[in-house]
Chain A
Amino acid sequence: MRRAVPLRICLIMGIVMIIQFFIPHRYSQDFYTKVLDWNIIIGIFALVLGIQSLFHSEWTKVRRRRSGWGFSVVTIVAVIVVAAIGIWGGIGEGSVFIKIYRNLTMSMQATMFALLGFYMASAAFRAFRARTKEATVLLIAAIIVMFGRVPVGDLVWHKLPDFVEWILMYPSMAVQRGILLGVALGSAATSLKILLGIERGWLGGSK
């Protein structure tokens, strides 16, 4: 009961959705939309669980006055304030919610990602020493792509941007395609294992 029912729900819904894929009828499409909506509705409750988990761990830090508990207060207050402004003030163009998103959240997000540029450069300095032939190829490809995407690359050799495009479109694409094919096969195999109940990790360890 505790394991058999969820395994059957998973199998039945999986098979139904696979069959639905091959039926190009309006009813089938309506059913697909309905199931997606149901999935979203069920997902909201998982979101609530996630929020509860975050609040629980942050509030525990505050209550026990662990080091850096003040930052936990910042997180909790930020969640409540931004969510409240969005829910009661609306999310339309010109609203405070959108102003917060554009000026604060996006600023912080862009800066965080920009910071990664520094860390990548420092990591590359340590990792990309041309010790082997393969590492040298990697280094050269990286340098060519970096130069080819800035105006100075065009000044060095006017065909460099086209050459970079070629690298990205053919040898690089070939590898990505090879990896994608492997991922697709792996994903299909794992999906079948889940549907047939061979892979049961998602049920958890308890009975």
Chain B
Amino acid sequence: MTHDIWIWAGVVLTLFIFSSLYKDNPFYRFAERLFIGATLGYAIALTWHNVIIPKIVLPLQHHEYILIIPLCFGLLYFSRFFPKQAWLSRWPMAFAIGTGTGISLPLVIQASLFKQLQGTMITSFTFSNIVLLVGVITTLTYFFFSTEHKGAVGKIARIGIWFIMVSFGAAFGYTVMARVSLLIGRFQFLLHDWLGLIK
């Protein structure tokens, strides 16, 4: 058995969380709240070292006073604390939403639309490529609600449902196996790192 205090702390918290399998209890809730707090604390410290110091403090020390503009914009968020001036908080939001939308719009069209369409086109007539093309067309037809799903459209949409069911089943199976892999990892931690029962 290990004498490393960090591993002991990890073991205690792991067991606290596993205890919820029996029923909701104070040990689980303690670990849950500790997790929330530690994660937020982690984010704050990372923001401090990776954003506030290199992107604000150091440039200001080097007289890059143009940064005062985004700082003033950001400060407007705090107008929410004063109900009469709360509308000013829309300005930084507008900047973030405007730039975010402007950046993402061409990227989405390029990466998620054109590239995906290009990838779907058949370049060689193999069974797999035909399955891919038929799957995309039938799935899109299933999600196309501007036309009633009757006749030919209904039949194509019906094939789409089968494809969707296969995909959802595969996604479910894949996710379950990922979770099981994590579970094995936790048991390895308990039996190897902590108890030293397995090599």
Contacts and interface: CB of A to CB of B under 8 A. Distances in A.
Given A83-B44, A187-B108, A195-B102, A111 B167 contact: no
B65 to A, nearest CB: 13
Interface residues of A, number: 124
Given A18-B106, A141-B166, A195-B101, A178 B51 contact: no
Contacts of B169: 137-142, 145
B71 interface: yes
Main secondary structure of the interface of A (DSSP, over half): helix
B61 to A, nearest CB: 15
Nearest to A149: B177
A137 B98 CA distance: 44
B94 A10 contact: yes
B191 interface: no
Nearest to B113: A184
Interface string A112-130: 1111111011001000000
Given A115-B18, A174-B163, A178-B135, A124 B97 contact: no
Contact of A112 (B35, B165, B166): B35
Given A38-B69, A39-B100, A44-B47, A168 B95 contact: no
Interface of A: 2-3, 5-7, 9-18, 20-22, 32, 35-49, 51, 54, 68, 71-72, 74-87, 90-91, 97, 99-105, 107-118, 120-121, 124, 134-135, 137-146, 149-150, 164, 166-185, 187-188, 191-192, 194-195, 202-204, 206-207
